[in-house]
Amino acid sequence: MGSITRRRLGALGAGFGLATAGPAAAQAWPSRAVALVVPFVPGGSADVIGRPLAQHLSTTFGQSFVVDNRGGANGNVGTHAVTRAEPDGQVLLVTTNGPISTNTLLFRRMPYNPLTNLTPIALLSDLPVILVARRDAPYASLRDMLAYAKANPGKINCGVPATGALGHLAAELLRRRAGIDLTIVPFRGGATAATGLLSGTVEMAIDLVPAYQTHIQAGTVRALGVAATEPLAALPGAEPIASQGLPGFEAIGWTAILGPPGLPAGIVQKVNEAANRFLQKPETRTMLDAVGSRLLGGTPEALARRMQAEVAIWRPVIADARITLE
C-alpha cells in the first residue's frame, strides 16, 4: 500500500489547513472549518453517528465540522490520512473499531500504528452483530442450529459482509466456541450478503444489527441470537447468544472519535466534553436506540484501553482462522 503524502492530503483543501497551522492556531481552535474524516463510504455506522455529531460540534464551537468520507482498505486509507495530519485539531477521525484495532491483526502490512499514531478522544457508541437464518432453514433456534451443524459438518453456508469484517470474525468465533464446521461465504458488503440470504445463496448470515433489523421485523428472516450479553430494546425477540449455551459470547462493533498524534490536551478535552454532551442529548439516544446501539462516551483513557482490549480479544480468533488482508 503506497504512502499517503501531505500533498495528497491537500484534497481536504486549504480550508481545512492540514499543514499550515502551528501552536498559535491550536490555542485558538477552531479558527476555521474542521474535517471529520470517516474512513468508509457513506451509510455505515461511523457515517450515521458522524453526521449528527458534526452538526453538534458545529453548533458548539461556531465553526463548520464537515464529514469527509475517505473509504479504502477496510478503513486504512482515511485513517492513515489522519495520522499524517498536523496536530492542530483541524482534522479529526470518526471511525469504527476496525481501522484502530483489528486491522493490525488482519493486514500483512499496516501504514500506521493506531496505538501510537493517533490520539484517543472519546468512545461514541457500540453495536453487536446478529445471527440470522432464512425462515425455511431446518432450525428455528440457535440450539437447533448448533445441533444441526454438528450432525451436518460444513453443510451450513453462512454469509458475512466481507473478509475480515466483524461479521466474519463473529462467524469464526462462533465456529471456534461452538465446535462446529460452517462454510463461511464472504460477500462484497452487507447489502449483498443480505440479498444472498434472501435469495437462498446462503441459509444463515452474521452482520451488524441494522443490516437485518427490517428483515427481522418484516418476518422474512429469523433472528437466532444477538452477540451481546443483554437483549436489545430494538429487537426484543432476539435472545443473546450468551444465554443460549455459549456464555460470554460477544462480537461488538463500536465507534469513536480520535485525532492525529500529538493533538494538544486542550483540544482533546474540548472535543471530549462536546462529544459526551452530544451523547446525552435525547435525540441522540432515540437515534441510537432505534438501531440497537448503546451510548458510550467517557474519557480518552477509556478509549485507549478499549483499543488495546479489542486486539487481545480477536488475536487468537484471527490467528486460528488464518485471515489475512493485503
Q: Which triple of cell numbers denotes residue 37?
A: 474524516
Is the per-residue pLDDT at 170 higher than 50?
yes
- The residue-averaged pLDDT of 125-133 equals 95
**Residue 248 domain-assigned (yes or no):** no
CA–CA gap between residue 63 and residue 57 (Å, rounded): 8
pLDDT band at 149, cuts 50/70/90? very high
- The residue-averaged pLDDT of 92-110 equals 95
End position of a domain, from candidates 243, 275, 308:
243
Q: Nearest to residue 211, comparing CAs of 191, 185, 236, 241? A: 191
Is the per-residue pLDDT at 141 higher than 70?
yes
CA–CA gap between residue 184 and residue 206 (Å, rounded): 10
**Residue 180 domain-assigned (yes or no):** yes
End position of a domain, from candidates 243, 272, 290:
243
Is the per-residue pLDDT at 53 higher than 90?
yes
End position of a domain, from candidates 182, 210, 243:
243
CATH number of the domain encompassing residue 181:
3.40.190.10
Is the per-residue pLDDT at 10 higher than 50?
no
Is the per-residue pLDDT at 6 higher than 60?
no
**Residue 326 domain-assigned (yes or no):** no
Report the mean per-residue pLDDT for the chain: 90
**Residue 1 domain-assigned (yes or no):** no
Is the per-residue pLDDT at 305 higher than 90?
yes
**Residue 293 domain-assigned (yes or no):** yes
Q: What percent of the chain has pLDDT over 70?
A: 92
pTM of the model: 0.86
pLDDT band at 191, cuts 50/70/90? confident
Q: Are residues 195 and 304 in the same domain?
A: no
Q: Are residues 10 and 116 in the same domain?
A: yes
Q: Are residues 103 and 164 in the same domain?
A: no
CATH number of the domain encompassing residue 35:
3.40.190.150
Q: Are residues 278 and 230 in the same domain?
A: no
pLDDT band at 27, cuts 50/70/90? low
Q: Which triple of cell numbers denotes residue 222?
A: 429469523
CA–CA gap between residue 229 and residue 128 (Å, rounded): 10
Q: Nearest to residue 161, comparing CAs of 137, 116, 130? A: 130
Q: Are residues 30 and 165 in the same domain?
A: no
Q: Are residues 162 and 220 in the same domain?
A: yes
Is the per-residue pLDDT at 273 higher than 60?
yes
**Residue 141 domain-assigned (yes or no):** yes
Domain of 232 in residue numbering reads as 128-243
Is the per-residue pLDDT at 163 higher than 60?
yes
How many separate domains does the chain show? 2
